[in-house]
Amino acid sequence: MPAAVATVSRSRWKRPSRARVERIRAKLAEFYGVPLLAPHGRPLDELVLTVLSQSTNDRNRDIAYLRLRDALPTWAAVRDAPLIQVEEAIRPGGISKVKSKRIQAILRQLTDSAPAAAADPLDLSWMAAAPIEESRAALCALPGVARKTAACVLLFSYGIQDVPVDTHVGRVATRLGLLRPGAGAEEQHDEVCAITPPGAALEFHVNLLRHGRRICHSQRPDCGQCVLRRSCPARQL
Ligand code: SF4
């Protein structure tokens, strides 16, 4: 049986205390460890990788990505290539017709919207020092890019405090009472960012994700094995 959580209206919702968030964070860190992943400084690589990750597993995503880089080594080359060449390269990642169009649309929009004086319209390194709202807005204005993808780009490229909320993170955080049941994607992202302790965005994202994949499954959460069961309002025991 899934651990169903009834929807709560905004007016009745109370954000969890810092102490509670810290306890959950500490328990997860004790169980899963603290992930070490240095920001790689390549936002456009991360953006394309995130597009390729849709509806597939990590292995096929990586194969598609490496084949694309091999066939077309620069992002300008990917942008200007015949669509079929991009599609062929990323085929192992699935829904390649959709993804190839989206990748080229993103690269073209970045090129078209860059200031005329920009030396390289595909250079997104300005995001490293820009206000997070500005970078997020620029990313979310791109075709098919929403908050989760923008957060992946900012967090994994530059270690910026933005937390990607995918299906696992959203489900686990809701069951634990960190997110309002019934919250949409925008609210989930805003709230997770608001409650995440400073400097803990990567750790919180990765450990909530791990917990969702390994223990707090969508249909049959393994509450008997869960380190958070004592404090979880959705536990099934
Ligand atoms: S007790 Fe753990 S596994 Fe069960 S619903 Fe809560 S967080 Fe998920």
What whole-number distance in Å separates Cα of residue 121 and Cα of residue 115? 8
| Contact of 103 with 122, CB cutoff 8 Å | no
What whole-number distance in Å separates Cα of residue 225 and Cα of residue 82? 51
Tens-place pLDDT, residues 176-195: 999 999 999 999 999 999 99
Tens-place pLDDT, residues 77-135: 999 999 999 999 999 999 999 999 999 999 999 999 987 778 899 999 999 999 999 99
Residue 79 token pair:
């942008």
Residues 6+ apart with CB under 8 A from 222: 215, 216
Tens-place pLDDT, residues 50-60: 999 999 999 99
Write the DSSP symbol of residue 215: T
Secondary-structure class of domain 43-158 per CATH: mainly alpha
Continuous segment of H or E residues that includes residue 25: helix 18-32
| Contact 229 CB / ligand 1 (< 6 Å) | yes
Continuous segment of H or E residues that includes residue 94: none
| Contact of 21 with 225, CB cutoff 8 Å | no
What whole-number distance in Å separates Cα of residue 136 and Cα of residue 121? 17
| Contact 228 CB / ligand 1 (< 6 Å) | yes
Residue 130 token pair:
């820009």
**Distance from the alpha carbon of residue 120 to the mean position of ligand 1, in angstroms:** 47
Ligand 1: which of 175, 208, 218 to mutate, most ligand atoms within 8 Å of CB?
175
pLDDT given at position 119: 86
Residue 4: pLDDT band by 50, 70, 90 thresholds? Answer: low
**Distance from the alpha carbon of residue 24 to the mean position of ligand 1, in angstroms:** 12
| Contact of 151 with 163, CB cutoff 8 Å | yes
pLDDT given at position 1: 53
Q: Is 43 helix (H, G, I), strand (E, B) or coil?
A: helix
- Domain 10-36+161-231, CATH number (from 3.30.1050.10, 1.10.630.10, 3.40.50.150, 1.10.1670.10): 1.10.1670.10
Tens-place pLDDT, residues 26-57: 999 999 999 988 999 999 999 999 999 999 99
**Distance from the alpha carbon of residue 235 to the mean position of ligand 1, in angstroms:** 5
Which atom in ligand 1 lies closest to the alpha carbon of residue 227? 2
Intervals of CATH 1.10.1670.10 along the chain: 10-36+161-231
Tens-place pLDDT, residues 129-172: 999 999 999 999 999 999 999 999 999 999 999 999 999 999 99
Query: Could you tell me the pTM of the whole model?
Result: 0.91
Intervals of CATH 1.10.340.30 along the chain: 43-158
**Distance from the alpha carbon of residue 228 to the mean position of ligand 1, in angstroms:** 6
What whole-number distance in Å separates Cα of residue 126 and Cα of residue 214? 37
pLDDT given at position 117: 77
Q: Is 197 helix (H, G, I), strand (E, B) or coil?
A: coil
